[in-house]
Amino acid sequence: MPITLSFQADHVSHRLNCRLLQRRASALLRECRVADHGLSIRLVDDTEMSRLNKQYRHKSGPTNVLSFPMSEADDAGIENHGANSQLAQIPIRELGDIVISVDTALREARESRQSLHDRLTWLVTHGLLHLLGYDHELSETAAIQMLDKEQELLHKLHHSRSTAMTQLAINVDHIATIRQARGGVEPDPVAAAAICEMAGAAGIVVHLREDRRHIQDRDVRLLRETVKTRLNLEMGAQKEIIAFALDIRPDMVTLVPEKRQELTTEGGLDVAAQKKMLARAIDRLNKAGIPVSLFIDADGRQIKAAHEIGATFVEIHTGRYCDASHEKGRDKEFQLIASMAEEAYQLGLRVFAGHGLNYQTTARIAALDTIEELSIGHAIVSRAAFTGLDRAVRDMLAIVREASRIG
Ligand code: PXP
């Protein structure tokens, strides 16, 4: 359900980053488990706020925030105000309106030395809790309950993806592919990883395939020593490779299906059909302190299975979205990725995405609030042949940053 952000006048809107506010409001709805409800946020000036304050609360002067629930609590079937477990059971689909005075928010932000957007975020949180039945004016206990909830939500918000950029991890397999074409020592994926990190990559990914067609054991061992961000070892769940991972201890492992004949990873893991085997692999790796991501198609059944067997992350396969030959098909694949990423996020999984992303297809995926990190290789290495690796990484980073910009 949409969050409608409206402005009473241009002078109210011109200093605001609507995208940031929308993102933060969406994250708050998700945290409160009411992401499927509509919410209207109206930003007004002090004159309009004074009028509303007079009309609805018989008070003169402006206030910072007013909440107007879509229906009264009794109608909505809420018996006990503020109890968190009841939030998910609210039967209405529209929560109501939050009206905020930007003039007052700005004054308060200056007084409390906060940014205007942080103050507005606090006001949206406060207003939302009112809509959900919390009321600090009822009693001291109710006030403490509301304050605690407010702080909990803001803490989560500041540590959640919604206030952070989408990260870019770079897969350097194809640097090794070029090296293996001559069976020599260059170009070295270890040097490539260092260049990627210096250009701003948040992580390095390598796929150690059973047939060692590109990345070699030596590369992973050296990368373990040299990578300063995060080393994500992509691999099949075979015994020998798991033993190698346990020895090397990468920062995380991404389990992928692996077929000897394929040119690249063709599809996601069928987690639902291999739950026992994958659960064992996850367990062994987790016991060694290595979190595991499962590379899956955008499929609710696979997400549920990944959650059930204790995966920390899922990486959603973006190949079909990237390979779509017409806009309609691409759009359909995008919507599927967006809704499945949301589903995984709601289950508490951390969500990555990758495969086939290039300079044209990345922005839309990077803009999804629920996706923390993208794993991109081939497109960047291909461009690097013409522009150099540093430039190719920076060009992709610019796209990711612009798409996930929060101001
Ligand atoms: N994620 C996974 C799980 C992959 O197998 C690959 C390809 O190695 C990638 C991401 C990166 O895909 P691409 O090289 O097409 O960007």
- Report the greatest alpha carbon distance in the chain: 82
**Could you tell me the CA-to-CA distances from 406 to 166, 196, 337, 371, 402 in Å, in that order?**
10, 24, 21, 14, 9
Residues 61 and 177 in one domain: no
- pLDDT for 85: 47
Environment class of 71 (CB within 10 Å of its CB; exposed 0-12, middle 13-18, buried 19+): middle
Residues 207 and 259 in one domain: yes
Residues 270 and 141 in one domain: no
Query: Which range marks the domain in which residue 235 is found?
Result: 167-406
- pLDDT for 22: 85
Q: Which residues lie with the beta carbon below 6 Å from any ligand 1 atom?
A: 171, 173, 207, 234, 254, 256, 264-265, 295, 315, 354-357, 375-379
Ligand 1: centre distance to CA 164 (Å): 23
Residues 125 and 227 in one domain: no
- pLDDT for 76: 36
Which ligand 1 atom is nearest residue 254's CA? 3
7-36 pLDDT per residue, tens: 887 767 666 777 778 888 988 998 898 988
Residue nearest to atom 15 of ligand 1 (CA): 356
CATH number for 263: 3.20.20.70
**Of 158, 180, 215, which marks where a domain is finished?**
158
Q: Which two tokens stand for residue 403?
A: 């798409």
**Of 100, 125, 158, which marks where a domain is finished?**
158
Residues 388 and 253 in one domain: yes
Residues 275 and 174 in one domain: yes
**Of 114, 134, 158, which marks where a domain is finished?**
158
Residue nearest to atom 2 of ligand 1 (CA): 355
- pLDDT for 110: 87
CA distance 370 to 349: 10
Contact between 227 and 204 under an 8 Å Cβ cutoff? The reply is yes
Ligand 1: centre distance to CA 171 (Å): 7
Ligand 1: centre distance to CA 173 (Å): 9
Q: Give catalytic residue positions.
A: 207, 234, 355
Residues 291 and 380 in one domain: yes
Residues 152 and 171 in one domain: no
Residues 271 and 206 in one domain: yes
Omega into 250 within 30° of 0, i.e. cis?
no
- pLDDT for 9: 74
Name the residue of 378, 383, 400 whose CB sits within 8 Å of the most ligand 1 atoms, as the mutation to test its pocket: 378
Residues 291 and 378 in one domain: yes
Q: List the chain residues with pLDDT less than 70.
A: 1, 11, 13-15, 71-92, 159-163, 260, 264-265, 405-407
Which ligand 1 atom is nearest residue 265's CA? 5
Which ligand 1 atom is nearest residue 356's CA? 15
Residues 180 and 246 in one domain: yes
pTM score over 0.75: no
CATH number for 108: 3.40.390.30
